[in-house]
Structure 1
Amino acid sequence: MKKVLFSPIIAAVLVLIIVVAIPNQWIEKMIPKSRISQAATELNPFMFQGKYVQQKMLEDHQYLPIYGSSELARLDRFHPSNYFKEAGGDFTPFLIGRGGTESLIHFLNFAEQTGQLKGKKMVFVLSPQWFQPKGTDESHFVPNYSSLQGYDLAFNKNIDPALKKKAIERLLKFSPVQNDPFLSVMYRAEITNNPWTKRESAWIRPFALAYRKLLIKKDLYYSLVGGIPHKRDLNPQVKNKSWDELAAQANHLGEKKSTNNHFYVINSQYNKIHKMVPSLKDNKIGASYGESPEYQDFQLVLSLLKQAGAEPLFISVPVNGPWYDYTGFPKVGRTAYYERIKKQIETEGFQIADFSHHEYDPYFMKDTIHIGWKGWVYADKAIQDFYEGKKIDVEVVRSN
């Protein structure tokens, strides 16, 4: 009876030992080369919370990483992933982010890749909604936090110590870090002169290092298995079109798909909220995106990218003007954000495609907060100009 009972346990332990003992190099050799191209549009959290796939992507000049949040999942014919594929672009967009992926999460991701960012062109899509008065919260941080990236930051000696301390002080405010018995101690040791905390950190460091190695191996196995493939239906109707033609096409498509409201919101999304719409009128009076802890979090991103020598283009997405007016969100509270974020980016010497003047441009936005249709056309042109080293013109879409 005992033999029957313990045999599965012994077998499971043996399998676990074998899995852990397999050298990382062996696992890497088994990962198919197609994994990187497969991951480019999957928006799989295992990919951007890990490191292997992103490292390989950054090594390949074919890919242009695009960092952002939930807007990346709003795929249509004008989305960069479809447009540059169908129009025969010189690069393949690689999407990194999902809903709730805000500045602090992106900082952890970039910190893990600092050695590969020098001279690397990338695109970073900003959302005004990140800049809430209280900044990011647990509901946004927790699902997107990566333990591997958190531990890699603890062992990272390449980041400016002052920048690292600022990031750690911020990260210690969130439960995944606070509740980690190894990481919380190591982080606190970085920002304190308390000798007991530093001794405790030195004692647990070997255990933390062993755990980090397990996290690395876990990431390799996830990369080996891969995510659930998502078939993306490519739309060839953007081929051989001038920017003017694309903008007209986007305008027509938006008009066709937004017929049940006067906010230029896609019908399918408006159907989900229309019962609540009356209760939302003037419920944002006095609101503003002008003051938020998110600006300090975003500065961590800017400082790290500058230290790493990266070449980012920031895309400043507007809000949906008619909708924000309806909710009573003051224009001054929106303008404060547009002006502050633009100044913050340009102060660091980075480029920004500022589309804030498109608040009232029909079909520039797909719903109440996400860029779409015509907005992607303008973004595509800015991305292409940026990639080719041209001056970015965001005032009008012109024919080639």
Structure 2
Amino acid sequence: MKKAIFSPLIAAVLVVIIVFTIPNQWIESMIPKQRVAQAATELNPVMFQGKYIQQQMLDDQHYLPMYGSSELSRLDKFHPSNYFQETGAPFTPFLVGRGGTESLIHFLNFSEHIDQLKGRKIVFIISPQWFQRTGTDESHFVPNYSSLQGYDLAFNKNVDPKVKKMAIKRLLRFTPVKKDPMLSTLYKAEIHHDPWTQGKAMIVRPFALIYRNMLTKKDLYYSLAGGSPSSREISSVVRNKSWNELENLANQEGARLSTNNRFYVSNYQYNKMRKSVPFLKGKKRHMTYGKGLEYHDFQLVLDVLKESGAKPLFISIPCNGFWYDYTGFPKEGRAAYYNRIRNQVLKMGFPIADFSKHEYDPYFLKDTIHIGWKGWVYTDRAIKDFYNGVKNPKDEIIWPTNL
């Protein structure tokens, strides 16, 4: 009887030991070569929170990394993933981000790959709704936080110590970090130099390193297993079209799909929010995106990209002026955001495609906050000119004076 009880337990222990003693190189050799290509549009959180797939992607100059949040999942025919594939571009956009992936999460990701970003062109899409007064909250941070990236930051010697300390102070406010006894101890040792804290960190460090190695191996197994196929729209209609022709097509598409409301929101999205619309009228009179902790977190992103030597293009998405006016959100509170974010990016010596003047441009957005249709056309043009080094005034990229 005892043998029957303990045999499965012993077998399970042996399996775990085998799984975690297999050399990483063996696992990597089994990961299919096409895994990175598959991941380019999968928008798989496992990939965002790991590092192997992104390492392979950044080592391949064929990919143009695009970082953002939920707008990346609006995969229509004008989306960069379709446009650049169908028009034979020399690069493939690689999408990194989902809903709630805000500045602090992107900072952790960039820190993870800081040694691979030098000279690398990337695209970073900024969304106004990140910039709430209180900054990102638990509901957005927790689902997108990566323990592996958190531990790698603790052992990272490549990030500027001043930037690292500022980031750690912010990270220690969030549950997954402050409730992790090993990681929080290591983090506290970075910002407090008393003997007690340093002593605890010295004891914890070897165990934390073992745990970090386990997380790295776990990421390799997830990479081996793969994700799920993306459901993006593939359409050749964008081929051999001028920008004016593409804009007209986008207007037609938006008009066809947005017929049941006056906010130029797609019928599908408006049907989901229809019941709450009457209650939201005038409810945001005291709102602003011009102040808040997110600017501090966004500066961490700018700092780590500057230190890495990356070459980013930032894209500033506008608000839906029709909807924001309806909710009473002051224009001043939106203008303050556009101005502040533009100046923050330019001050760091990076270009920004500023689309703020498109607040009242029908079909530039697909709903109240997400870019779509015409907005993607403008984004495609900005990305193409940025990639080719063309300074075209029509694409609305503002270049810093030192470039």
Distance 1:228 1:240 in 2: 31
Q: How far apart are 1:275 and its partner, in Å?
A: 1.4
Q: CA deviation at 1:230?
A: 2.4
Structure 1: distance between partners of 2:204 and 2:2: 37
In structure 1, distance between residues paired with 2:231 and 2:271? 26
Q: Label 1:392 to 1:177 Cα distance change in 2 as closer, same or farther (>3 A).
A: farther
Find the aligned partners of 1:285 and 1:308 in 2 and give their Cα distance: 40
- After superposition, the CA RMSD in angstroms is 1.0
Q: Which residue of 2 aligns with 1:27?
A: 27
Q: Do the aligned partners of residues 192 and 337 (structure 1) sit closer, same or farther apart at CA in structure 2, a change above 3 Å counting?
A: same
- Quick one: distance in 2 between partners of 1:334 and 1:350? 22
Give the Å deviation of 1:2.
Answer: 1.1
Amino acid at match of 2:316: S
Per the alignment, residue 192 of structure 2 pairs with 192
Residue of structure 2 in register with 1:179 after alignment: 179
Aligned partners of 2:393, 2:194: CA distance in 1, in Å? 53
Q: Name 2:7's counterpart in structure 1.
A: 7
- Structure-2 residue corresponding to 1:164: 164
Mapping of residues 27-46 of structure 1, within 5 Å: 27-46=27-46
Deviation at 1:17, TM superposition (A): 0.6
Q: CA deviation at 1:231?
A: 4.0
The aligned length equals 397
Are 2:148 and 2:216, in contact at CA under 8 Å, matched by a contact in 1?
yes
Partner letter of residue 104 of structure 1?
L
Deviation (angstroms), 1:229: 2.1
1:153 has 2:153 as partner: yes
Q: Distance in 1 between matches of 2:50 and 2:64?
A: 18
Larger displacement relative to structure 2 (109-118 or 228-237): 228-237
Answer yes or no: is the 8 Å Cα contact 2:381–2:395 preserved in 1.
no
Write out per-residue CA displacement over residues 353-393 of structure 1, whole angstroms, 9 at most, x where no aligned residue.
00000000000000000000000000000000000011153
Q: Specify the alignment match of 1:301 in structure 2.
A: 301
Residue equivalent to 2:400: none
Partner of 1:64: 64
Deviations 1:56-109 (A, max 9, x none): 000001000000000000110000001001111110000000000000000000
For the 8 Å contact 2:154–2:183, the answer to whether it is kept is yes
The alignment status of 1:363 with 2:368, answered yes or no, reads no
| SS of equivalent residue, structure 2 residue 377 | helix
1:317 maps to 317
Preserved CA contact (<8 Å) 2:382 2:395: no
Larger mean CA deviation between 253-262 and 2-11 belongs to 2-11
Residue 135 (1) aligns with residue 142 (2): no
Q: TM-score, normalised by structure 1?
A: 0.98
Q: 1:302, 1:396 → 2: CA distance? A: 21
Q: Spell out the pairing of 1:243-254 with structure 2 (5 A cutoff).
A: 243-254=243-254
Aligned residue in 2 for 1:257: 257
SS of 1:345 mapped into structure 2: helix
- SS at 2:88 equivalent: coil
Give the partner amino acid of 2:63. Answer: Y
Query: How many angstroms apart in 2 are the aligned matches of 1:243 and 1:282?
Result: 37
**Equivalent position SS for 2:352:** strand
Q: Retained in 2: the 8 A contact 1:382–1:393?
A: no
Q: In the alignment, which residue of structure 2 is the partner of 1:220?
A: 220
* Aligned partners of 1:353 and 1:392 also within 8 Å: no
Contact 1:125 1:314 in 2 (8 A): yes
User: Would you say 1:338 and 2:338 are equivalent positions?
Assistant: yes
Conserved in 2, the CA contact under 8 Å of 1:125 and 1:315? yes
For residues 231 and 11 of structure 1, the distance between their equivalents in structure 2, rounded to whole angstroms, comes to 40
Q: Is the 8 A contact 1:251 1:373 kept in 2?
A: yes
Matched position secondary structure for 1:64: strand
Q: Which runs of 5+ in 2 are unaligned?
A: 398-403
Aligned-pair CA distance for 1:396: 7.4
Distance 2:353 2:375 in 1: 12
Paired letter, 1:69? S
Partners of 2:393 and 2:313 in 1: CA distance = 13
SS at match of 2:349: coil
Q: Is the 8 A contact 1:132 1:292 kept in 2?
A: yes
Gaps of 5+ in 1: none
Aligned twin of 1:272:
272
How far residue 232 of structure 1 moved from its aligned partner, in angstroms, is 3.0
Counterpart of 1:179, as a letter, is K
Q: Deviations over 1:246-273 (max 9, x none)?
A: 0000000000100000100000000011
